[in-house]
Amino acid sequence: MTTTDISGTVPATAGHNLNALAVPPVPFDTHHLWTNWAGNQSATPAFTVRPRTEQEVVDTVRFAIKEGLPVRAVGAGHSFTPLVQTGGILMDLSGLSGITGTDPALRRVRAKGGTPISAFGDPLWEQGLALSNQGDIDKQSISGAISTGTHGSGIELGSFSSSLRWVRLVNGHGEIVEIGEDRLHELRAAQVALGTLGIFLEVELQVVDSYHLQERITYPTWEETSATWDADIADNRHYSFLWCPGEDSAELYELPTPAGERMTGRSYTKRYNSVKLNEATDISLEEGSRRDRSYRIYPGGFMIPFHEMEYYVPVEHGKEAVERVQDLIRTTHPDQKYPMEVRWVKQDEGYLSPFAKRDTTVISVSGAPGTNYWPYLRDVDAVLQDFDARAHWGKIHFMTRARLEKLYPELDSFLQVRREFDPNGVFLNDHTRALLG
Ligand SMILES: Cc1cc2nc3c(=O)[nH]c(=O)nc-3n(C[C@H](O)[C@H](O)[C@H](O)COP(=O)(O)OP(=O)(O)OC[C@H]3O[C@@H](n4cnc5c(N)ncnc54)[C@H](O)[C@@H]3O)c2cc1C
């Protein structure tokens, strides 16, 4: 069984025969230390490039092919897994940013590959459009979010990947390729590809008519959460909760809680539903009952780093799986205090999508940076394997190639596309090669 090291630092130019005279044809840094948001992944690539144009991306990929250097793309660096590490060329796409077009009739938007999610809100709203859903933050790049299956919560709402309708990318042959709905096989591979098909230059997403949201925050006991489980999932556009195993749990995620309330065993529960608002009179910024445009309601804070693992179980097993993890914390890991976040995602068709063909309950747990949380995360992994859990590609997980073969019925379809797009593995690193090589 092939395993993948998820906690390492990649040394500069590891395993590559660098010709000292060959340098990228675009401005670059050499041996610049890169670290992800959470601080648990780092690398020192031979070259870090920040292309500003499509041509600079193409030129860099062609240079890499010629010199035998691997390339990895980085968006906002918000993944907890070693997805972007490389000893070759790290391509920071943050300079390739901005909305490039909207089609209000078809409800579509196009944006450059490095555009942050936060940059979609205002321009879409001006066209009467909005992203159909968003996650806990809006700092990620759109390509990073798509590439890992990033999602919000709502049983009728799919992930960012599921909204991808077209992508323009540079593949491992150094060619620009456009994949739309007329190339469904390749589109389903591109919908979650971990950067292994090439560099996304521009993407087109399905969006929806603009909408306002009404927030309702409550603090139920577990018995109350359990009693209204099915109705809450079905009746709310967005339903999610953060269950607190201890009194100090809420502050670890900076969750506002009612004064004097004991949070042990309670949840910080979010319900967001569409509401018609007159913006002149109806906007409310009151914590716990905000009313505002959708894109102003979704994103939260998360300033204090944590190390997160997130697994996905079929929706019909959601409650049992959550209760098994609660029991594990109480009986075996009472020192683990981070809230458990529980969300829902609608099924989709992406070959590597963790939501492929199954409506999903999302369970995430976190460890404190600087502590040995590995026994806890491994035990959660073991418990959730009983439910055929898949994992968030961008959060800590213990997936192996053997496990992927069991969990992803379309894995071979994905691998076929990956090998066509990048037969020489230009866009692989050790982590992705072990899983998808
Ligand atoms: C505080 C915090 C909150 C989070 N909240 C959520 C949440 O609510 N829901 C959720 O599902 N996840 C969440 N995540 C996880 C996060 O959304 C994913 O890890 C996401 O991939 C990060 O986007 P990024 O732009 O930082 O991508 P990176 O981490 O930089 O890259 C992720 C992958 O995308 C690839 N990539 C990036 N740009 C390109 C490109 N232009 N072309 C091709 N490949 C590319 C990279 O090579 C890599 O494989 C959260 C993470 C943090 C740290």
Pocket probe for ligand 1: among 71, 96, 147, the residue whose CB has the most ligand atoms within 8 Å is 147
Closest residue CA from atom 13 of ligand 1 = 150
Domain 95-209 has CATH 3.50.50.60: no
| pLDDT value of residue 21 | 61
Q: How far apart are CA 209 and CA 310, in angstroms?
A: 30
Measuring from each residue's beta carbon to the nearest atom of ligand 1, which residues come in under 6 Å? 37-38, 72-79, 83-84, 93, 113-114, 135-137, 140-141, 143-145, 147-148, 150-151, 194-195, 199-200, 302, 392, 394
pLDDT at 100 over 80: yes
Closest residue CA from atom 33 of ligand 1 = 144
pLDDT at 4 over 90: no
| pLDDT value of residue 303 | 78
pLDDT at 287 over 60: yes
- What number is the average pLDDT over the span 4-9? 40
- The dihedral sign for the CA sequence 198, 199, 201, 203: positive
pLDDT at 99 over 90: yes
Closest residue CA from atom 50 of ligand 1 = 78
Pocket probe for ligand 1: among 37, 78, 295, the residue whose CB has the most ligand atoms within 8 Å is 78
CB 111 within 8 A of CB 160: no
Determine the atom of ligand 1 nearest the C-alpha atom of 150. 11
Q: Say which residue the tokens 């529960």 belong to.
A: 269
- What number is the average pLDDT over the span 77-90? 98
Residue 388 Cα to ligand 1 midpoint, Å, equals: 24
Residue 257 Cα to ligand 1 midpoint, Å, equals: 29
Residue spans of the domains in the chain: they are 95-209, 212-396
| pLDDT value of residue 259 | 85
Determine the atom of ligand 1 nearest the C-alpha atom of 194. 49
Q: How confident is the model at residue 20 (pLDDT cuts 50, 70, 90)?
A: low
Please check whether the two domains, 95-209 and 212-396, share a CATH topology.
no
Q: What is the pLDDT of residues 181-230, one digit of tens each?
A: 999 999 999 999 999 999 999 999 999 999 999 999 999 999 999 999 99
CB neighbour class for 265 (10 Å; exposed up to 12, middle 13-18, buried from 19): middle
DSSP line for 287-326: TTS-EEEHHHHS-----S--EEEEEEEEGGGHHHHHHHHH
- What number is the average pLDDT over the span 105-120? 98
Determine the atom of ligand 1 nearest the C-alpha atom of 200. 42
> How many residues make up the chain in this entry?
437
Cβ neighbours of residue 179 closer than 8 Å, sequence gap 6 or more: 166, 167, 168, 169, 186, 187, 190
Domain 212-396 -> CATH class: alpha beta
Least confident of 5-9, 152-156, 170-174: 5-9
Closest residue CA from atom 52 of ligand 1 = 78
- What number is the average pLDDT over the span 396-406? 98
Determine the atom of ligand 1 nearest the C-alpha atom of 76. 26
pLDDT at 3 over 70: no
Pairing of strands 208-209, 238-243: unpaired
| pLDDT value of residue 423 | 98
Residue 269 Cα to ligand 1 midpoint, Å, equals: 24
Q: What is the pLDDT of residues 356-391, one digit of tens each?
A: 999 999 999 999 999 999 999 999 999 999 999 999
Determine the atom of ligand 1 nearest the C-alpha atom of 77. 30
| pLDDT value of residue 17 | 47
